[in-house]
C-alpha cells in the first residue's frame, strides 16, 4: 500500500489544483493584453538631444521589461535634423535597434527573434524639413516599412494604420480626406475585423501647440471606423476630445526632441496638456477595452494622463476616464536614467504645465527646461531679463535662414495691445522661433 499523505501536506495538495487554475488564468489574461509604446519626435541624438532621447528610450525599455511590448509606434521626426542617412542609425538604431527587423546598424543586430516590433510614420524632418522637394529616401531604406509611405499591421486585438501627413506627400498620394491615401485608409478601416483600430501620423489634426492644428488632416476618422488618432509634431502632450462621443486625438511629441510649451489659446476640445519631461504612452488593449496612459520619464514614472474605451453590453463603445485607483504601469525601474536633466533639482516641475497649462512651482522657479513660473501661474520664457535676451538672441541667430517667418511674428508684436496680450505674444514668438529651428 502507498504511504498515506502526511496531514501537514493535505491542505497543500487540496489547494494545489486551485492555485494552478488561478496561475493559468492570470497567465492567459496577461498574454491576451496587447501592449504598445508610443513615442514621437525622438530622433535627436545627432543634434545634441541624446540625453532626452535616452530618458524616453529607458522608459520604453522598462515598459518592455515589464510586459514585453507587442510594438512601438513612432509618430514621426525619427531623424533630426534633415532625415539624412548619415544620422539615421545614431538617432534610431542606437536606442531602438533591438525592436527592428530587418536592420543594418552599427549599434544593434536588430530584433533577436527576427520579428519586427517597430512601426514608424514619417515626419517633416524625415522628409528633410522642406515643404517641397524633400526626400524620404533614408527613411524608406532604413525603416522596416518595406519601402511604403503608408501601411497597416494587425497586432493581436489592435489594427494600426500608419499614414504620411507631410506636405511632400501631396504630390504623391495626397493628404486630404479625398486623396488616394485617405481612400486607402477608409477601405482598410471598413474591412478591418480587429476590436480596436488606431490611426497614427505626424501632423496633428487638432493641437494647442505652436505648430497648431492641421485642417487638411481632419478626416472623418471616427465615421470611417477608427477608435483613436495619434500624432506628434508639437513637442508636448495633449488629449483633444472631439464629437458627441468624445473621439480622442492624442498629440505626443515627448520622445526626445527639444520640449516646449503650448500656445495661450487652447484648441476646442483640449482636455489635458503636459510638457517639461520626456515621456511615452502605454497602450493596453484586449477584446473588451483599450487604455492610453501617458508615462513621464522621471523617477517613479508618474502617469500624467489616462483615458480608456470599453465595450458596453450592447456592443457600443464607451469613452471615459480611467479608474482613479488604477496601479502604476511600472514598479521595476532598473533601466531608468534618474538624472533630472532639464528639470534641474526642482522635482515639483514634473507637472509644470500639467493640466490646463498651469505651473506647479513658485513664481520665479525654473520649470520646463529654460522656462520659469510667472505670477499668473503660467509656465513660460523669462521676460525683461538678461536671460530672456540671451535666449532670444541665440534662437534668432539659429533661425536666420527663416527670416520671413520670424519677421511676420515680429510684426504681430507691434500691434497695440494690453500688457497681458503683449506678454502672451512674446511667449508665442519665443516658442515659434524655437519651433522653427528645433521641432
For 390, the grid coordinates are 540671451
Unique residue bearing C-alpha cell 513621464: 296
Give the tens place of pLDDT for each residue, 272-292.
Answer: 999 989 999 999 999 999 999
pLDDT at 34: 97
Q: pLDDT for 22-61, tens place per residue?
A: 544 444 444 589 999 999 999 999 999 999 999 999 999 9
User: pLDDT truncated to tens, each residue of the chain (439 aa)?
Assistant: 555 656 655 565 565 556 555 544 444 444 589 999 999 999 999 999 999 999 999 999 999 999 999 999 999 999 999 999 999 999 999 999 999 999 999 999 999 999 999 999 999 999 999 988 999 999 999 999 999 999 999 999 999 999 999 999 999 999 999 999 999 999 999 999 999 999 999 999 999 999 999 999 999 999 999 999 999 999 999 999 999 999 999 999 999 999 988 887 899 999 999 998 999 999 999 999 999 999 999 888 889 999 999 998 888 899 998 987 777 776 444 444 433 333 322 222 233 333 223 343 444 444 433 445 555 554 454 554 333 333 333 333 433 333 333 333 222 222 333 444 444 444 444 444 444 444 5
- Tell me if residue 271 falls in helix, strand or coil: strand
Rounded Cα distance between 305 and 282, Å, is 11
Q: Rounded to two decimals, what is the model's pTM?
A: 0.74
CB atoms within 10 A of CB 27: 10
Q: Residue 17: its pLDDT value, please?
A: 59
Q: Give the C-alpha distances (Å, rounded to integers) separating 423 from 370, 428, 430.
A: 17, 9, 11
Q: What is the pLDDT of residue 314?
A: 86
Between the two ends of the chain, the Cα-to-Cα distance in Å is 79
CA dihedral over 82, 86, 92, 94, signed as positive or negative = negative
Q: Would the CA dihedral through 175, 176, 179, 180 be positive or negative?
A: positive
| Distance in angstroms (rounded) separating the CA atoms of residues 86 and 128 | 13
pLDDT of residue 411: 28
Rounded CA-CA distance 91/78 in Å is 7
Q: What is the distance between the alpha carbons of residues 401 and 390, in angstroms, rounded to a whole number?
A: 19
CA atoms within 13 A on the CB side of 311: 10
- As a whole number of angstroms, the distance between CA 76 and CA 271 comes to 23
User: Which letter, b or e, does each residue of 197-221 get, where b requires 16 or more Cβ atoms within 10 Å of its Cβ?
Assistant: bbbbbbbbbbbbbbbbbbebbbbeb
Q: Are 72 and 60 in contact (CB under 8 A)?
A: yes
DSSP run (H or E) holding 63 = helix 50-67
The one-character DSSP state at 223 is H
> How is residue 286 written as a grid cell?
484586449
Other residues' Cβ atoms within 10 Å of the Cβ of residue 160:
22
Contact 250, 39 (CB under 8 A): no
**Per-residue pLDDT, 430:** 40
Q: Please write the tens of the pLDDT for every residue from 408-436.
A: 322 222 233 344 444 444 444 444 444 44
Amino acid at each position: 500500500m502507498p504511504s498515506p499523505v502526511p496531514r501537514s501536506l493535505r491542505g497543500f495538495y487540496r489547494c494545489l489544483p486551485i492555485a494552478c487554475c488561478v496561475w493559468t488564468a492570470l497567465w492567459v489574461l496577461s498574454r491576451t493584453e496587447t501592449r504598445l509604446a508610443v513615442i514621437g519626435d525622438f530622433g535627436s541624438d545627432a543634434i545634441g538631444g541624446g540625453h532626452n532621447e535616452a530618458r524616453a528610450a529607458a522608459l520604453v525599455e522598462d515598459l518592455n521589461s515589464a510586459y514585453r511590448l507587442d510594438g512601438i509606434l513612432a509618430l514621426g521626426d525619427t531623424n533630426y535634423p534633415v532625415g539624412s542617412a548619415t544620422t539615421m542609425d545614431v538617432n534610431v538604431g542606437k536606442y531602438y535597434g533591438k525592436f527592428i527587423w530587418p536592420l543594418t546598424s552599427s549599434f544593434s543586430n536588430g530584433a533577436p527573434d527576427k520579428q519586427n516590433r517597430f512601426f514608424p510614420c514619417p515626419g517633416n524632418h524625415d522628409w528633410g524639413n522642406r515643404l517641397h522637394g524633400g526626400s524620404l529616401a533614408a527613411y524608406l531604406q532604413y525603416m522596416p516599412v518595406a519601402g511604403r509611405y503608408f501601411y497597416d499591421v494587425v497586432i493581436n486585438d489592435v489594427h494600426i494604420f500608419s499614414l504620411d501627413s507631410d506636405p511632400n506627400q501631396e504630390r504623391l498620394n495626397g493628404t486630404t480626406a479625398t486623396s488616394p491615401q485617405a481612400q486607402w485608409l477608409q477601405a482598410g478601416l471598413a474591412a478591418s475585423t480587429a476590436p480596436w483600430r488606431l490611426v497614427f501620423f505626424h501632423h496633428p489634426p487638432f493641437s494647442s501647440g505652436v505648430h497648431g492644428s492641421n485642417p487638411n488632416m481632419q478626416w472623418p476618422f471616427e465615421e470611417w471606423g477608427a477608435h483613436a488618432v495619434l500624432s506628434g509634431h508639437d513637442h508636448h502632450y495633449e488629449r483633444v476630445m472631439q464629437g458627441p462621443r468624445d473621439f480622442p486625438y492624442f498629440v505626443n511629441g515627448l520622445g526626445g526632441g527639444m520640449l516646449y510649451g503650448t500656445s495661450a489659446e487652447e484648441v476646442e476640445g483640449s482636455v489635458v496638456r503636459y510638457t517639461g519631461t520626456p515621456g511615452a504612452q502605454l497602450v493596453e488593449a484586449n477584446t473588451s477595452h483599450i487604455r492610453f496612459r501617458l508615462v513621464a520619464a522621471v523617477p517613479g514614472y508618474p502617469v500624467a494622463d489616462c483615458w480608456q474605451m470599453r465595450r458596453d453590453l450592447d456592443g457600443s463603445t464607451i469613452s471615459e476616464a480611467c479608474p482613479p485607483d488604477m496601479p502604476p504601469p511600472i514598479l521595476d525601474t532598473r533601466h531608468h536614467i534618474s538624472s533630472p536633466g532639464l528639470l534641474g533639482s526642482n522635482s515639483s516641475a514634473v507637472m509644470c504645465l500639467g493640466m490646463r497649462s498651469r505651473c506647479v512651482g513658485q513664481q520665479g522657479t525654473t520649470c520646463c527646461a529654460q522656462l520659469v513660473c510667472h505670477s499668473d501661474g503660467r509656465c513660460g520664457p523669462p521676460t525683461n531679463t538678461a536671460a530672456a535676451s540671451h535666449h532670444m538672441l541665440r534662437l534668432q541667430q539659429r533661425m536666420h535662414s527663416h527670416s520671413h517667418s520670424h519677421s511676420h511674428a515680429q510684426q504681430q508684436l507691434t500691434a497695440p495691445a494690453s500688457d497681458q496680450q503683449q506678454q502672451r505674444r512674446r511667449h508665442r514668438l519665443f516658442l515659434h522661433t524655437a519651433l522653427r529651428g528645433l521641432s
